[in-house]
Structure 1
Amino acid sequence: MSIAHRIVLPSAVLALAVFALPATAQQATYTVKLLTPEVALTAAQAAMAQCRKAGHQVAVAVVDRSGVLQVLLRDRFAGAHTVDAATQKAWTAASFRIPTANLATETQAGKPMSGIRMLPHVMAIGGGQVIEAGGSTFAGIGVSGAPGGDADDACAVAGLKAIADAIEF
């Protein structure tokens, strides 16, 4: 190997390593998108309005993608239990990234994933929806207090529809 090769080859390897450092540093972090409090509130208000129109007194919770509560609304006559149930539905939808009615089906007794129901905070019953767009999960919304998970789900979906234009990209 000539002297030129002995100098150029290690220099080229060093240059590649130096230029690769920023790419490695960039891969060590990531960016997430979250709803603003205003958008989360809009979703919650729309869900509550839908339930009121149907004659239901409910609680509505919106959590961020990590399950941290952003908004909680409880109607005048919604039961005390609805606060925790709505929050847990929102948390479950955001955490598992699946509507809670679907999770209820997948985790029934005797199914391979039935043990998920024993985890803390999991609420495998209709009324929780994932808030997502453009391949990103932003949050979860949960509704509790309507007569049955289907009615809770209808209100949660109304909340999703109310903010669809704000989060689509």
Structure 2
Amino acid sequence: MKNLNLTYVASALVFFAGAIDCKAQTLVTQKALSVDAALAVAHGALDKCHTDGYRVSLTVLDNSGLVKLQVRGDGTGPHTLEHSRRKAYTALTFKRTSGETARAWAAATTPPPAIEGTVGAQGGVPIKAGNEVIGSIGVSGAPGGEKDEACAVAGIAKIADLLK
């Protein structure tokens, strides 16, 4: 009888210890990029590029790497849409601009990681709410990655108040 009571007590302790662990778990709350915010970023980037005389395509990704918005600009080459997606995916994956990633890869003594969909080209920028990456934008088609990146940064600036 004594062993049976100890078994019940031990079982109860294990059950309640598990219940405490479950109680400590919560739902994850995270910021997300809305469609309206993605559209504002896209318009801001396109406006900057158009003002500077560049025809570009762009991609805005959500925090899981899925396409939130893609625009193939008038008069752009067929490769620019996919290239913009890869730039955005690189920025999202490494949580820094795709240009910073390209420079890190070039300086590394070992080969870059073989992550499908990433590219070592400037023009992708993470979209951060505080320190949390909530999406990214990639721009392709301007005559140089630094110009693509400047357009992407101008787009993100359009929602700067939301990102504080």
Cα displacement (A) at 1:59:
0.4
Partner residue, 1:141: 137
**TM-score, with structure 1 as normaliser:** 0.82
Q: Is the 8 A contact 1:106 1:113 kept in 2?
A: no
Cα displacement (A) at 1:19:
6.6
Gap regions ≥5 residues in structure 2: 1-9
Q: Is the 8 A contact 2:31 2:129 kept in 1?
A: no
Cα distance per residue 1:17-56 (max 9 Å; x no partner): 3772443332xx5233210011011101110110000000
Partner residue, 2:73: 75
Partner residue, 2:155: 159
**TM-score, with structure 2 as normaliser:** 0.84
Partner residue, 1:24: 24
> In 2, Cα distance between the equivalents of 1:18 and 1:125?
49
Cα distance per residue 1:105-161 (max 9 Å; x no partner): 0011x6145322x43211111100000022211001000000111000100000111
Q: Is the 8 A contact 2:56 2:140 kept in 1?
A: yes
SS of structure 2 residue aligned to 1:146: coil
Percent identity between matched residues is 32
Q: How does 1:1-169 map to 2 (within 5 A)?
A: 17=17, 20-26=20-26, 29-108=27-106, 111-112=108-109, 114-116=111-113, 118-168=114-164
Q: Count how many residue pairs are aligned between Structure 1 and Structure 2.
A: 156
> In 2, Cα distance between the equivalents of 1:25 and 1:84?
39
Structure 1 pair 148/22, CA: closer, same or farther in 2 (3 Å)? same
Partner residue, 1:4: none
Gap regions ≥5 residues in structure 1: 1-9
Structure 1 pair 18/121, CA: closer, same or farther in 2 (3 Å)? closer
> In 1, Cα distance between the equivalents of 2:18 and 2:110?
47
Structure 1 pair 17/150, CA: closer, same or farther in 2 (3 Å)? same
Q: Aligned-pair RMSD on alpha carbons?
A: 2.3
